[in-house]
Structure 1
């Protein structure tokens, strides 16, 4: 279990209860529209609780992303594989509007994907993305992922694009 990853500008750490105010503000805001939000206070609480609990149930999970010089959370990035997911996913969400457009999601996602291949030993990695989440689509493509039209989606009743990340040996 790797509870901490470092990148040049970021620290990715296991989420904890202290992340609640930032998570709550994100999940209850229009910023969360690309992942099914905004949601109620209770649904926001359960969303963070699920992220924290994923670590205990799977031994890994999404990391809270912080800037190297601060423990204040700016988002979450990492491996995610709930019991009803068709495939192993690396996902991302930047909670802070001030952190957008600075390459933090890209930097954190690169580290998370490398970790999933090398440490978790995953055979496949996808990212499930709302078709209207253009920033997330652009990030997946920047990471080298290609849309997989034949892949199964987690919730067939909810529109979703599946982006498949290339294995390290397949990257140019």
Structure 2
């Protein structure tokens, strides 16, 4: 795997594949009931480990998965976001999850813009979706700010096994917004 191909820097963030030292903050993130409220609920450490290893394994086997989000100013792991498409998923997703202490700073938007660019340009995806719990108003607002539109109700496969809203856009829609200067 070409590490430079899989590293993105934005003004405030570094997006890179998960590394072993990311597990402790990942486990704390997964244990936070408020952070995980719309993502299946708080997880015990053993479940967080499985999720972490699943993400690392997807990078190894598929060449993509969600990035670890690193705060440039502190070097801290602050979340995970990016492309995600496990078997049975309703489409090619760019999703996000940021640690609670970093909410409200525009970091999910900043990272998601970079991850969507990367997914369209590097992975060649023709569309991106976001699977969002129907009561997650903050993520729906972010999806709208990214230019995505509500596409209807979908279902996530087991073990998640829940109905969600699907938001998304095509590569052409994303590029049209980029050239119109609407994303910055």
Q: So what's the TM-score if we normalise by structure 2?
A: 0.86
Question: 1:83 is matched with which residue?
Answer: 87
Q: Does the Cα contact within 8 Å between 1:90 and 1:109 map onto a contact in 2? A: yes
- Stretches (4+) displaced over 2 A: 151-157, 165-172
Pairing partner for 1:32 from 36, 46, 50: 36
Unaligned runs of 5+ in 2: none
Question: 2:157 is matched with which residue?
Answer: 155
Question: Does 1:139 pair with 2:142?
Answer: yes
Q: Does the Cα contact within 8 Å between 1:129 and 1:163 map onto a contact in 2? A: yes
Please state which structure has a larger fraction of its residues in strand.
2
Please tell me the root mean square deviation across aligned C-alpha atoms, in Å.
1.7
Question: 2:75 is matched with which residue?
Answer: 71
Superimposed CA distance per residue, residues 89-135 of structure 1 (whole angstroms, 9 cap, x where no aligned partner): 1010002x221100000000000001111111001110101112111
Secondary structure of the residue aligned to 2:162 is coil
Secondary structure of the residue aligned to 1:57 is helix
Question: 1:128 is matched with which residue?
Answer: 131
Q: Distance in 2 between matches of 1:136 and 1:108?
A: 14
Q: Distance in 2 between matches of 1:152 and 1:114?
A: 24
- Of 155-164 and 18-27, deviating more is 155-164
Residue 17 of structure 1 and its aligned partner are, at CA, apart by: 1.6
Q: Distance in 1 between matches of 2:113 and 2:58?
A: 21
Unaligned runs of 5+ in 1: none
Secondary structure of the residue aligned to 1:34 is coil
Q: So what's the TM-score if we normalise by structure 1?
A: 0.91
What is the total number of aligned residue pairs between the two structures?
170
Residue 40 of structure 1 and its aligned partner are, at CA, apart by: 2.0
Q: Distance in 1 between matches of 2:164 and 2:125?
A: 22
Q: Distance in 2 between matches of 1:38 and 1:127?
A: 21
